[in-house]
């Protein structure tokens, strides 16, 4: 599992750097005591950041974390409901539905074959001139 996370991190790091460069004006940092408060100017979200070993480490504020967890729970319930609904939709059609579908296909094929025969008969009565 760690190898997967590290591998994903290595591949996604350049993308994150490019996104950070593109949105350089998106965040505003304000010093507050021994930590920083980061404001996302697009969403209004606030994060608390601390300097750890020369790197700025940010975490969500408590109220944002609760909203995040609520959203995850809501989405998990929705996924469960959708998965259960798909099981009900996978039921096979009844014999009557199959018979009706086959009869529709037979009528369509008979109509198509009738048109083909008409074109063939028309071609036989009025052949195209040979140009070779």
Tell me the pLDDT of the chain averaged across its residues: 79
Q: What percent of the chain has pLDDT over 90?
A: 24
Which run of H or E residues covers position 113? helix 95-125
pLDDT at 88: 61
Per residue in 48-85, pLDDT (tens digit) is: 888 888 888 888 777 677 788 888 999 999 999 888 87
Roughly how many angstroms between the first and final C-alpha of the chain, as a whole number? 72
Q: Which pLDDT band, with edges at 50, 70 and 90, does 18 fall under?
A: low
C-alpha span between 84 and 132 (Å, rounded): 67
Per residue in 35-45, pLDDT (tens digit) is: 888 887 887 77
pLDDT at 98: 94
């Amino acid at each position: 599992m760690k190898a997967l996370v590290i591998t994903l991190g290595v591949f996604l790091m350049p993308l994150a750097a490019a996104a950070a460069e593109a949105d350089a004006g998106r965040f505003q940092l304000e010093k507050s005591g021994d930590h920083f408060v980061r404001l996302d100017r697009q969403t209004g979200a606030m994060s608390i950041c601390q300097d750890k070993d020369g790197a700025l480490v940010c975490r969500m504020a408590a109220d944002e974390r609760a909203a995040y967890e609520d959203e995850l729970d809501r989405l998990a319930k929705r996924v469960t409901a959708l998965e259960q609904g798909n099981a009900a939709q996978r039921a096979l059609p009844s014999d009557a539905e199959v018979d009706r579908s086959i009869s529709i296909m037979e009528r369509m094929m008979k109509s198509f074959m009738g048109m083909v025969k008409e074109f063939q008969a028309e071609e036989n009565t009025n052949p195209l001139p040979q140009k070779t």
